[in-house]
A and B are shown apart, each in its own frame.
Chain A
């Protein structure tokens, strides 16, 4: 953006390239006269700029490095230092940074969109901060107006938020001991989980009830049919993929033998442990359903 040169930076005379001078020196910025730079400024502060930065900007594996007289390193570090007031924004020639960065982009054979987007974002913040310091300020603004803090100044600070958290936790505790009849009809709000995940005991209880039924029913014994856990597990995963969700009890009930039901039960436990599936009771006293976790790691057990 060559047009912005006049506003943002007045290019100063070319300074000699000096490798050592490029290292960040906290003493330099603080000793520099602040605000010496304005529209069409004489560039006295900017004179220190390294405008001779070679057209062959370095392609660093760690990302684009900024090389200025008083700063060398990645842009996020620069932004951090400016926010921490370790570096004076007026000492940072943004036109130079953008010009060199554009040259650098032109050289790239392949662009890493994520990385460059991040750079653009940070550069935009930098430009915003700088533009705020350069624009004439309206008198109505508070004297300690700081552009970068404006947006969060009216928000409740974090330490007070922490106090509220304590308070709400007490209230939650208090409320947890008071029951209303709506508890019977509606699921309770829960924090970490999206649905009420059932405990091992819920599963076991359901299973033992089933075993009793199964035992009573059975006289059929299949010999020679051996089922491995791995086979059963992939069978369950297949069923889940096909049907979306299965009813925990119905699924075990549908197994041919008690032994097979047992294996299926252990497989389900394994899958839950591996966080591949989720056992969920949508409402109190409802049946337990098993779902594939959407965020499940794609790992083949077999």
Chain B
């Protein structure tokens, strides 16, 4: 039974271009128990991870998706005619970090952290859907509030924002780095 379920899951993930969430899987397979699905999924992922296949199943933004293994990066890029993947600028990364750790956060608050204006980087991040506007702060001027998106998680290979080290862990990291 689990073997069959495993193969069903494989098909579902294969056909999904965007990460397939566990919620969606349950919707599609109402007759299977949650425990069965979890078990089958885990075994499927292990099979790919340990196997010699060129692809594996990665988690991104809380969903599952087939990806090529890192070893094949050069060849894939040649096929796609991409010399180098575009990277976020240091500025954009800073703003993104400030938002990720303080969300929801306003532009003046981001500026207060960084000490410089961040409007350009904010614009770029918004256009790339790495952040979104989540409302307005009940403060003078009612400034817009920003949050990170699921695409942010997927872009950095995270499943949840909690996977980033906590503020205290960061402090420790910094202290270790300095000593």
Provide the bound-state CA to CA distance between A111 and B33, in Å.
74
Query: How many pairs of A and B residues are in contact by the CB < 8 Å rule?
Result: 136
Chain B residues contacting A159 (CB-CB under 8 Å) are 174
**Which size bracket describes the interface of B in this complex?**
35 or more
Q: Which chain B residues border A284 with CB–CB below 8 Å? A: 80-82
* Complex contact A155–B164 (CB within 8 A): no
**Binary CB contact string for chain A from 152 to 190 against chain B (1 if under 8 A, 0 otherwise):** 101111111111110111011011111111111100111
B113, A155: Cβ atoms closer than 8 Å: yes
The residue that B86 contacts in the complex, of A160, A185, A188, with Cβ under 8 A, is: A188
Q: Which residue of B lies closest to A285 (CB)?
A: B81
Whole-angstrom CA separation of A240 from B88 in the bound complex: 30
Q: Is the beta-carbon distance between B164 and A167 smaller than 8 angstroms?
A: yes
List which B75-105 residues lie within 8 A (CB) of chain A: 76, 80-83, 85-90, 92-94, 96-98, 100-102, 105
Contacts of B167 in A (CB 8 A): 156, 160
Q: Which residues of B contact A171 (CB under 8 A)?
A: 156-158
How far does the Cβ of B97 sit from chain A's closest Cβ, in whole Å?
4
Q: Cβ of B7 < 8 Å from any Cβ of A?
A: no
Q: Which of A162, A167, A180 contacts B67 (CB 8 A)?
A: A180
What's the interface size class on A, roughly?
A: 35 or more
Q: Give the distance in Å from the alpha carbon of A221 to the alpha carbon of B61 in the complex.
A: 60
A181 CB, min distance to chain B CBs, angstroms? 5
Contact of A193 with B by CB under 8 A: yes
* Residues of A with C-beta under 8 A to B96: 168
Which one of B68, B89, B165 lies within 8 Å of A178 (CB-CB)?
Answer: B68
Contacts of A172 in B (CB 8 A): 87-88, 93, 155-156
Q: Which residue of B lies closest to A201 (CB)?
A: B83
List, sorted by A's number, 29 A–B pairs whose CB atoms are closer than 8 Å: A152-B109, A157-B113, A158-B115, A160-B101, A162-B94, A164-B165, A165-B90, A165-B93, A165-B97, A168-B156, A169-B87, A171-B156, A171-B157, A171-B158, A177-B73, A178-B67, A179-B73, A180-B17, A180-B60, A180-B66, A183-B80, A189-B88, A190-B86, A190-B128, A192-B89, A192-B124, A194-B124, A199-B83, A284-B82
Chain A residues within CB distance 8 Å of chain B:
151-152, 154-165, 167-169, 171-172, 174-185, 188-194, 196, 199, 284
Q: Which residues of B contact A168 (CB under 8 A)?
A: 93, 96-97, 156
Residues of A within 8 A of B164 (CB): 164, 167
Tell me if A160 and B170 are in contact (CB < 8 A): yes
Q: How far apart sit A172 and B152, CA to CA, in the bound complex (Å)?
A: 10
A184 to B18, CA, bound (A): 12
